[in-house]
Structure 1
Amino acid sequence: MAHATHANAALTPRARLKMAKLIVEEGWDVPRAAERFDVSWKTAKKWADRYEAEGPAGMVDRSSRPHHQPNRTPAPVVRKIVHLRWKQRLGPVEIADRLGMQSSTVYAVLVRCRLNRLTHIDRATGEPIRRYEHEKPGDLIHVDVKKLGRVPDGGGWRYVGRQQGEKNRSSTVARTGIPRNKWRNPVIGTCYLHTVIDDHSRVAYVEAHDDETKETATAVLRNAVAWFAERGVTVQRVLSDNGSCYKSHLWRDTCAELGITPKKTRPYRPQTNGKVERFHRTLVEGWAFKKFYNSESARLAALPGWVHQYNHHRPHSAIGKQAPITRLDNLAGHHT
């Protein structure tokens, strides 16, 4: 193993070896060798002794870490700190208060245990996040529904302000004849985005609908399976949450007909379906709220182009900053 030379070292390992050989093997006296290499006689003697004892391997720098650290935090205390961090996600100040310690000491322990940041700890359980990825495209697909309020004619409140946004909603309701809710507030409806993500490649398939019924969900599944099949991918399993459309007999029967094994996430654990949840965040930031749309139809018209950009051109950090489509074992011509 190669060792880096200390920043303030007067000699490189090669020079140390050369100097030590002159003393040990060629009989030079220590002061003469020290003068030749412009170091103190103590330094020359040290490297000569080490060469005599260890050979060429002794010419590299040793760790400056002390052999004994009497003030190091005891292991039982470290275990308590780690337990409070994992199970209760407490910060250094709170942990220090509970254990009667200095917060700086607690922070040093968290850094040493690589727990000083919570980004790699599951916020629901406090356990380290276990990331997984299936080996081949189609081994598992994730499905879910993202709900978005429709954009009123003239634009939504995010871009035109609350007051004008409410006026736009009211005029849209008047034009379309959509009934108001029980509080007489104008309601322009919800867009249901049925999304499908391939676990291995992160390739996405998205359809926008007016509902999330079992009929719509199964139709989207059929379309997605056919879409992936055109790209050389055979779907084996599908993971969904416990929504009513995914617990229906129609969903079960459709999966059986397509030769797919249906799987469910643990209740109240959306992290199990984390890849599609993360995609929804990217979808909202990159498409839904990225720019001003003067109507719902204008926003939906931009959806296919954004999904194509995501699949074919956007570098994905979780797969080595490659575009998702590059991970499909598909036919030539589908990567363009």
Structure 2
Amino acid sequence: MSKNKVIVLAVLEGGMSKTETARRYGVSRQWVHELLRRHAEAGEAGLSPRSRRPRRSPQATSPAIRDRVLALRQRLAAEGLDAGAETIASHLELEGCRPPASSTIHRILRQAGTVTPEPHKRPRSSLRRFEAHQPNETWQSDFTHWALADGTDTEILNFLDDHSRYLLHCTAHRRVTGPIVVNAFLDAGSEHGLPASTLTDNGMVYTTRLAGGKGGRNAFETLIASLGITQKNGHPGHPQTQGKIERFHQTLKKWLAGQPRAHTLDGLNDQLAKFRQIYNHERPHRALNRRTPATAYNAAPKAAPKLAIQGDHWRTRTDRVDADGKVSLRYAGRLRHLGIGRLHKHKRVILLGHEEHVLTIEHGTGEVLAEFTINPDRGYQKKQNTPGPKTGGVNDVPTHP
């Protein structure tokens, strides 16, 4: 027999007063009154122990927030975007709602059955992160495969800023070749300034260092060295060195899988342009304290390569050498003719300019053909030096004052 029942029987059948009963059984007089009230309303069932949980909790997550959490989870997952608790909290905050704790959001998702347990997954706290201290300190690059609707394989080339995860370049091609890598790098540099270093794997479009010394530098290596940019390559068989861009490829493919499969290369590139906008400007990143890559990229001063061809004053254009071995450009209001040499006639070239300094680089090979410091008093400009094929290293190109 429970103590509560004994107390009630002592009063109702034993004739004891409420005060005496409370003293004998070591409870308060108010508790005796409460037990008698429960017995009168529900009989012996009313004497069973009840939960001490409060009838209402002011801090409890409202049904509206719970519904919005689940709706965001469904929408983000359908779009192929990260749909974790922290990302959902960021979206709630952007919508003007005060989000609950990430642990609360995770509990809501788990109770709704939208979380797949991964008990053997390595905890994030065990990972050692390496990150550049400034934007443009290191650019990572790699390409990955993606199939069109008819099964045709394509390759998507990416350049990613190591510090901010900002997606600098993202385009699809039938095959990524050396000239494509060079042009993509120059396009990204023209838009964002040149990096102090690059980090890639050992693919032949990036380096020939594992080719047994045959053929010398490739186009990308020659260009990087000529611009005074440090080139870094990961160890063979150790993709963790380029972990950020490897992880980025997972994010990209997850998003693409949530879109209608593109039928053409142009259609895929349209999708990639849309993804780049979402990834850089709309999607908060866990590793950036829930900031977007664009916010992180623009929040700190940018690093620069050893040669001062950098920033807003740096410009690039393509041209073709004429039959006399010259190309023309406008400087200080006058047309200047750069004498590259008849040996290079009809070649397509890239002109990289910083104030009065101009480098001419062969389009598609990255070979530096000539360097000029424009004399404003002359129309015809003689080249200062000719680095020569496969030798355009940083030590071969004098640093400008």
Q: Give TM class, smaller chain.
A: 0.3 to 0.5
Higher percent of residues as strand: 2
Higher Cα Rg, which structure: 2
TM-score (ref. length: structure 1): 0.47
More helix by percentage: 1
